Structure 1
Amino acid sequence: MTIEFECRYCQKVLSAPDDKAGSLARCPQCGETISVPVPEGMTSLSRADEGGSDTGTPVPEESSFLAEGTLREEESVLSTGQTVCPMCGEEAPAGALNCDYCGETLQSPGPGSGEPRKIEVGAVLSRAWGVFSSNLGRVIGVHFLAYILAVLCSVAVLILFIALGVGAVALLGEPEPGVLIALGILGYIVVLLINAVFQFYFLLGVLSYILKLVRGEQPSFNELFSGWPYLGRMLLCSLLFIFMYALGYICLIIPGIIIALMFGAYPYLLIDRNLPGIESLTQSRKITQGNLMSLFLISLVLGSIVLVPYLSLVFATVGMDRGAGPPVWFPIVMIFFMAFVYLFLIPFSVLVGGTCYAEMTNQ
């Protein structure tokens, strides 16, 4: 038999085989997910025997709307949105890789699944350079715009606090020198903290933009303002990360390097998976497992790149101290060094970080 019904969103008349009654499908006209209705009194027996057939001629599935735009079940073409674990019998979201209750593997991960994997140094650098060279203006532009916005916010905060200080002095009179110094130090600390919040806010936007570029998407510069939902967790995780790194660095430096490599992917995890609390730190340890040496070698490559302009700056300074060479060379080299660092090295390093994350999570 055939079930005929209307889409409740666009009123298109649809037909489906009776064995699909109760299933979910996507309307070919409006794209909304709809449920194939179950006729009253329908049993496993033929509806024709009961006189309940909607049409005289059954329509095969390949001739119904169910055959249009066939998708995988986990994409909810004929899915209830849940799958049953064969091990424990609990329900899990359709498309889940593992059961949340017993850990049973429900399906094997494929490319782009986000499942951790080992990375290759050459593959990461090659992919990063390809994205960087083909999106040079966009990569540099988003960093430059973030710099400008952060500076403007810092200046605005500084002006606001100066105005508040001048207003307070005008209303309350000039305080004692000791009190004035204490208030000045307190105000300076508050300004630094507020500026740090702005820095993290725009950093989240830059990382989100870069991660989308690495994935082959075409983000807009509005992505710079997308970090608000993650800001609180970013600040919390960053404080813990800095504390762990400083503690490890005190312990003969090497533990600090290991901690930085092990937990350094937490901002990308926070943006990509919107993880609660400090879970992005724990997940970072999982995805970097087996990749610490590769990450260390990539860091060495990036560090060696900065040596070229840095050594040029050192040699120029030494030459000036010895009276060799005209003084005009120093500001030129200094400008070259700053431009190289802020317009090339930092954007490329951030892009490499996003590429490392994408490679480690099989994206």
Structure 2
Amino acid sequence: MPVEFRCTGCSKLLRTPDESAGKKAKCPQCGEIVDVPTQSQSVVDAAPTKFQQEVAETNPFGHVASSPSVALSNPYESPPISAPQVKQQHLPVLEHRQISFDETLRMCWEVTQNQLGPIALCGLLYLAIAVGTNMATGFIAPIGQAMKEPAVQISGQIVQQVAGFFVNTYLQLGLLIFGLNLVRTGTARVSDMFQVGPYYLRGLGLFLLMTVIYYGVMLVCMIPAFGTILTERPEIIIPAFVVFGLLGFTCGMYAILRMVLAGAFLVDRNTGIRESLRLSDQYMAGNKLATFLLSFVTGIVGMLVVLVTCCIGSVVVAPFMLGVLFPTIYLLATGQPTYKSQLHV
């Protein structure tokens, strides 16, 4: 007798042979990996009680009355207050692993080759929205400059930066969601890029905190360089700013490498800001150097692609980091299944 159960990702009714009970199956519709139950998931009506039998015998409409033990579903009923705002899925257990430079780069290349169309479309949307926001908010500063009003010019620059931060946060979270589904299942839906709603406010707080930490670390490292200004000796000031500037950049990059997976944890595990940062620091242990080399190499190659293609390649390079590279690093570092590991399921 086949086993019937619902997919935890899209609620599609699945049917497998009884010998597959207790194993894993892949949903043909959404690609979700689901545990096959030992028996079909069905609702069995409870046996009628003595009171129900008496009512059915004396009530002329008893034969059509529904059993009070079965709850009637109302399609117009409002959800309870305790209903979760984010769809909960069965997620695999996390297992800390050390990523390989070659394996990660090879997987990123295969994903990009197989799903170049959706990735390029996401990149086109990303660039169009980001550039459109910048143009829509960038007219204030030139007006202030033409009016010779520093206050208007500064206000325009602030508005442009704030609007850019809000929009870029949404786009970056969207690319992470898109990329996680892409690397997990091997298929991509551009609509995933716009499923940011439940995570947006926490994403704003997370990215703002990460920015503050990065620049805060850099400023702390630069304090000795600022101190040399008091000497009024250029032969000391300039080398000091160069040396401590490099030190600040290095320390800032180290801080970013510890936090780089926080956004992926937030959208994948629905964690809070603090928990996302803690998990990122935990699973980046032993993976910082490989992540830095991957980011550096792909960044250099990406710049060359943009230059050679006269900026046309930006539609692929722009979403590659957040939409392919970092989701791949996240899934491999946390020991979660990818599309390659599920091919044999």
Contact kept? 2:169, 2:207, Cα under 8 Å: no
Structure 2, unmatched stretches of 5+, are: 1-36, 51-88, 222-246, 337-345
Cα distance, 1:248 vs. partner?
3.4
Find the partner of 1:216 among 185, 210, 232: 185
Quote the sequence identity (%): 25
* Deviation string, structure 1 residues 305-341 (Cα, Å, up to 9, x no partner): 246468xxxxxxxxxxxxxxxxxxxxxxx5735234x
1:206 is the counterpart of 2:202: no
Partner of 2:28: none
Question: 1:148 & 1:307 partners in 2: Cα distance?
Answer: 19
Q: TM-score with structure 2 length normalisation?
A: 0.57
Taking structure 1 as reference, are residues 151 and 303 closer, same or farther at Cα in structure 2, changes over 3 Å only? Answer: closer
1:349 is the counterpart of 2:345: no
Question: 1:308 & 1:158 partners in 2: Cα distance?
Answer: 28
CA-atom RMSD in angstroms: 3.5
Q: Which moved more, 1:263-272 or 1:216-225?
A: 216-225
Cα distance, 1:266 vs. partner?
1.1
Amino acid at match of 1:289: A
Contact kept? 1:269, 1:284, Cα under 8 Å: yes
Partner of 2:272: 276
Cα distance, 1:353 vs. partner?
1.3
Aligned residue for 2:185, secondary structure, equals coil
Taking structure 1 as reference, are residues 183 and 267 closer, same or farther at Cα in structure 2, changes over 3 Å only? Answer: same
Question: 1:349 & 1:122 partners in 2: Cα distance?
Answer: 16
Find the partner of 1:360 among 317, 333, 345: 333
* Deviation string, structure 1 residues 14-70 (Cα, Å, up to 9, x no partner): xxxxxxxxxxx9984xx4566988x99xxxxxxxxxxxxxxxxxxxxxxxxxxxxxx
Cα distance, 1:200 vs. partner?
1.1
Larger relative contact order (CA 8 Å, sep ≥ 6): 2
Cα distance, 1:145 vs. partner?
1.2
Taking structure 1 as reference, are residues 245 and 195 closer, same or farther at Cα in structure 2, changes over 3 Å only? Answer: closer
Question: 1:113 & 1:187 partners in 2: Cα distance?
Answer: 47
Question: 1:306 & 1:346 partners in 2: Cα distance?
Answer: 9
Cα distance, 1:201 vs. partner?
0.8
Question: 1:306 & 1:277 partners in 2: Cα distance?
Answer: 30
1:336 is the counterpart of 2:316: no
| The structure with more radius of gyration | 1
Partner of 1:123: 103
Cα distance, 1:216 vs. partner?
1.2
Q: When the two structures are aligned, how many residues end up with a matched partner? A: 231
Question: 2:183 & 2:309 partners in 1: Cα distance?
Answer: 28
Aligned residue for 1:254, secondary structure, equals helix
Partner of 1:296: 292
Taking structure 1 as reference, are residues 345 and 148 closer, same or farther at Cα in structure 2, changes over 3 Å only? Answer: closer
Taking structure 1 as reference, are residues 35 and 210 closer, same or farther at Cα in structure 2, changes over 3 Å only? Answer: farther
Question: 1:360 & 1:32 partners in 2: Cα distance?
Answer: 38
Taking structure 1 as reference, are residues 308 and 144 closer, same or farther at Cα in structure 2, changes over 3 Å only? Answer: closer
Partner of 1:263: 259
Taking structure 1 as reference, are residues 158 and 294 closer, same or farther at Cα in structure 2, changes over 3 Å only? Answer: closer
Q: TM-score with structure 1 length normalisation?
A: 0.55
* Deviation string, structure 1 residues 328-361 (Cα, Å, up to 9, x no partner): xxxxxx5735234x13433333311110011011
Find the partner of 2:116 among 126, 136, 148: 136
Aligned residue for 1:116, secondary structure, equals coil
